[in-house]
Amino acid sequence: MEEIKIGSHVRMAGKEMFLASVKEAESYGANVLMLYTGAPQNTRRKEIKDLNIEAGWAYAKQAGIREIVVHAPYIINLANTVKPETFELAVQFLEKEIRRTAAMRSHILVLHPGSALDAGAEAGIAQTVRGLNMVLDENEDEVFIALETMAGKGSEIGRTFEEIKAIYDGVNKKERLRVCFDTCHVNDAGYDLVHDYDGVFKHFDQVIGLDQIAVFHINDSLNPLGAHKDRHANIGQGTIGFETLHRLVHDPRFMEIPKILETPWLCAEGETKKTIPPYKEEIQQLLAK
């Protein structure tokens, strides 16, 4: 049987940078990982030469890690039609992140489709399309932009499979697009994975195509179906539950697709600060037959 590709979001910091990311992933028993190339809430970035990429990959090969996923910072909002400077920053920064993703030898850059603010979903989608075309028409790197399925909080676009399809429809280089399927977000958007697992994926296949899923975010949800909230829960501790997430991780259709945990860290007994990563135990639970 093929090996399930599973890991978590890891940090990239300190002197070791990418090497530290790989060591962290190895400590969780992961064979894939996801990271930001810098802080997600600002534009400060270390130079590519300072990310320790060669040493990280040398260690990764020994640790059985063959693939990594990069997540674009959430300050990138291509859907913003209200502030031209925010849109321009998003375009410039996405161009830079694609180059950094390629330099890190990743082929997947996960991107939130953006928030339309008061302009409405249609205008937001059109603006995201405009931004993606500006970036992808000028960029030849072998990096796929994986549009993340969103929970639909506030004015987020990408809350339905149809909204993501509308972005595909407007982008010139459609072959450069993929989807990041987030279980918590899909649940909070109103897709019932628990009671209609096959139906949800059948619908996705009809609208976009299962072959377009490049990465899964495996998260339980603190919220009821359709809450449009986006609050991740630890595996088996939320409204999706262990059984459904285990089923997805072992789904033979998705064996080749990286599955990334973004579940909350835990508190030590008597503490209020979250200092304990849950990933080693959660990966073991999900891999169990």
Considering the domain boundaries, does residue 1 fall inside one? no
As a whole-number percent, the residues of the chain with pLDDT over 70 amount to 100
Residue 250 labelled as part of a binding site: no
Residue 224 vs residues 46, 203, 238, 273: alpha-carbon distances, Å: 40, 21, 9, 26
Q: Would you say 217 is a known binding-site residue?
A: yes
Average pLDDT for the chain: 95
2 pLDDT exceeds 80? Answer: no
pLDDT digit string, tens, across residues 17-71: 999 999 999 999 999 999 999 988 888 899 999 999 999 999 999 999 999 999 9
107 is in an annotated binding site: no
Contacts of 214 (CB under 8 A, 6+ apart): 108, 144, 146, 178, 179, 180, 257, 258
Give the dihedral sign, CA 90/178/245/69.
negative
Alpha-carbon gap, residue 113 to 132, rounded angstroms: 10
195 belongs to an annotated ligand binding site: no
The number of C-alpha atoms within 13 Å of 86 and in the hemisphere containing its C-beta is 16
CA distances from 34 to 50, 72, 83, 162, 197 (A): 18, 10, 30, 26, 25
Q: Residue 265 pLDDT more than 70?
A: yes
pLDDT in tens, 134-143: 999 988 889 9
Query: Annotated binding residue at 67?
Result: no
* 178 Cβ contact list (under 8 Å, min separation 6): 108, 144, 145, 146, 147, 212, 213, 214, 215
Is 148 marked within a binding site? yes
53 domain residue, yes or no = yes
**Do 100 and 70 form a contact (C-beta atoms < 8 A)?**
yes
**Which alpha helices (DSSP H) does 137-217 contain, by range?**
161-170, 183-189, 197-207
Q: Which amino acid is at 148?
A: E
Q: Is 112 annotated as a binding residue?
A: yes
CA distance 38 to 118: 29
Q: Residue 177 has what pLDDT?
A: 98
**What are the backbone dihedrals phi and psi of residue 36, each rounded to the nearest 5 degrees, phi first?**
-90, 150
Paired tokens of 205:
């296949």
Q: What pLDDT does 25 receive?
A: 98
Q: Give the three-class secondary structure for 130.
A: helix
Question: Annotation-wise, does 230 bind a ligand?
Answer: yes
Q: How large is the angle between the packed helices 242-249 and 197-207, nearest 10 degrees? A: 50
Does residue 86 lie in a domain region? yes
pLDDT for the residue 64? 96
pLDDT band at 117 (very low <50, low <70, confident <90, very high): confident
For the domain that residue 44 is a member of, what is the CATH number? 3.20.20.150
Q: Please, what is the end-to-end C-alpha distance for the chain in angstroms?
A: 12
Residues 6+ positions from 145 with CB-CB distance below 8 Å: 98, 109, 111, 132, 136, 176, 177, 178
Q: How many domains does the chain have?
A: 1
Query: Considering the entire predicted model, what is its pTM?
Result: 0.96
% of the chain beyond a pLDDT of 90: 88
278-285: average pLDDT: 97
- Higher-confidence residue of 2 and 33: namely 33
pLDDT tens-digit series, residues 38-52: 988 888 899 999 999
Is 185 annotated in a binding site? The answer is: yes
What range defines the domain where residue 252 resides? 6-287
